[in-house]
Structure 1
């Protein structure tokens, strides 16, 4: 099992391009910062990313920018340039026939606690320079730019799928940086023994896992496995398993009307009472009440 693919699928991660704008300097775009994850690419030209805190960040052609939710931020041709809200910019459309800048903006829908765990592994703004992109990632950006420059049947679907590709490539590249803080399961991917265990756990979280059975899958002694797993992943095997099961249970509570007994069994608990006890310990409320409270909350887009 590909754990990154599984996590993205569980989080219902998908992207949609919502604007491709042409501009001549001076130009500026302001974003609310409320979307869970937004992507920006300057397909042509250069500019600056201005966050509410910290100095402006230079953005050049074909650099990839991912911004997680927070306060409003701006993309501008030069620091301090006045910016128009993106909603107004979209209504106005492109304003340059021979543009100095072509700005693509897209948004990713990433939902649930599984999505939250992915987003927590990213900084407020992740900027990958074009020179740092893997060849296949650069080729995908080239294709995205070429498609954005023309019109044809199915264009929006093509742009959206290419934006999905960009997310996977960007996560790979960002989490491979020495200064990044990737999820523990991603770090474990560099260790064949741990990767084998995690793949099995993600594929079958309801199995009767113990540290002893995990160690057997890894081909290690129980003590050596437990110490190594904790050092690499950042939490003990038992805590990781509990968190994995709870994320799956939270997903089922949010997205389905399945009874608690079914959710408990699918999450690996012997009955719904054991599940409710573990759930209350984590959330402070029983799963039924959590389900009602969560469904009453608006979904961010």
Structure 2
């Protein structure tokens, strides 16, 4: 199993484009920073990222900017340019005036559960993926975003949203490949064949009764070698990683199905619901039944894009 794809699928990472705005200099767009993950792509023109207490950062054409939740920030035509709030800018709409202009695409992502929280926790603010870091396929996808945004055709919003989803996978992969020190341990471990085999086995079958000797056979190295190598690369022992994956799968089943606790337990590798409930409570600080109720209440009250 492709571990990165599995992580993003379990996080239910999905995006929606909420604005494609052309602005004529001088211009500025300010963002409250409340969305959990926002993407900005400069489709043409020139722009800068401004954040309080930080030097302005120039954005090149087709660079991908990811911003996690935090303080207010702005994208401007030049440092110090006047700003308008993004809500007001969307109400005004795109500008057709003559002059030096830029077009900025803005989209937001939602990520769910502890898998989504872990992905967000592994991202600094800001994440900037310049065009030079983008593999040809990502540059092509960004180019398609630009082409589709430049015209109004049936199905445009659906295409933009799906292309934004594609962009997240490319952007995270490019960022973590070029910023290894900031990448999560499981991602860097994928470059190590023995560890990759173990990670894929765990993600493929977290319900199996894995032991260290069995995982060592998958890795084709000694038990002591796997234990030391896994902890060093991933940051936790194999057993702890297996438990985390099991708890993430349990979250998903509790949130989205009406499976009984016995069914959830069996689905993630526990022989009885009591052992599962104990492990779940240790991991989440509450019993699985209460966690399910709170998760569903939170989902019912969540705001759409």
TM bracket, shorter-chain basis: over 0.9
Secondary structure of 1:190's aligned partner: coil
Of residues 4-13 and 174-183 in structure 1, the stretch that sits farther from structure 2 once superposed is 174-183
Query: What's the counterpart of residue 164 of structure 2?
Result: 163
Matched, 1:123 2:124: yes
**Any idea what the Cα deviations from partners look like across 1:63-106, whole Å, max 9, x if unmatched?**
11011112222111122323222111111101134451001001
1:266 corresponds to: 267
Q: Gapped runs of 5+ residues in structure 1?
A: none
Distance 2:181 2:163 in 1: 24
TM-score by length of 1: 0.95
CA deviation vs aligned residue, 1:80-134 (integer Å, no higher than 9, x gap):
3232221111111011344510010011121111111111111121011123322
Q: Is the 8 A contact 1:113 1:251 kept in 2?
A: no
Note the aligned Cα RMSD (angstroms): 1.6
- Match for residue 257 of structure 2? 256
- Once residues 272 and 179 of structure 1 are traced to their aligned partners in structure 2, the CA distance between those partners, rounded to angstroms, is 39
More divergent stretch after superposition (123-132 vs 96-105) = 96-105
1:70 corresponds in structure 2 to 70
5 Å-filtered alignment, 1:134-153, equals 134-153=135-154
- The secondary structure found in structure 2 opposite 1:61 is coil
Contact residue 202 and residue 242 of structure 2 kept, 8 A: yes
* Matched ranges for 1:183-202 at <5 A: 183-202=184-203
Residue aligning to 2:287:
286
CA–CA distance in structure 1, aligned partners of residues 249 and 283 of structure 2: 14
Counterpart secondary structure, 1:185 = helix
Deviates more, 1:190-199 or 1:79-88: 79-88
- Contact between 2:133 and 2:178, CA under 8 Å: does it hold in 1? no
Determine the structure 1 residue equivalent to 2:133: 132
Which residue of structure 2 aligns with residue 56 of structure 1? 56
Give the structure-2-normalised TM-score. Answer: 0.93
In structure 2, distance between residues paired with 1:274 and 1:111 = 25
**Maintained 8 Å contact 1:174/1:180:** no
Stretch of structure 1 that moved more, 202-211 or 11-20: 11-20
Unaligned runs of 5+ in 2: none
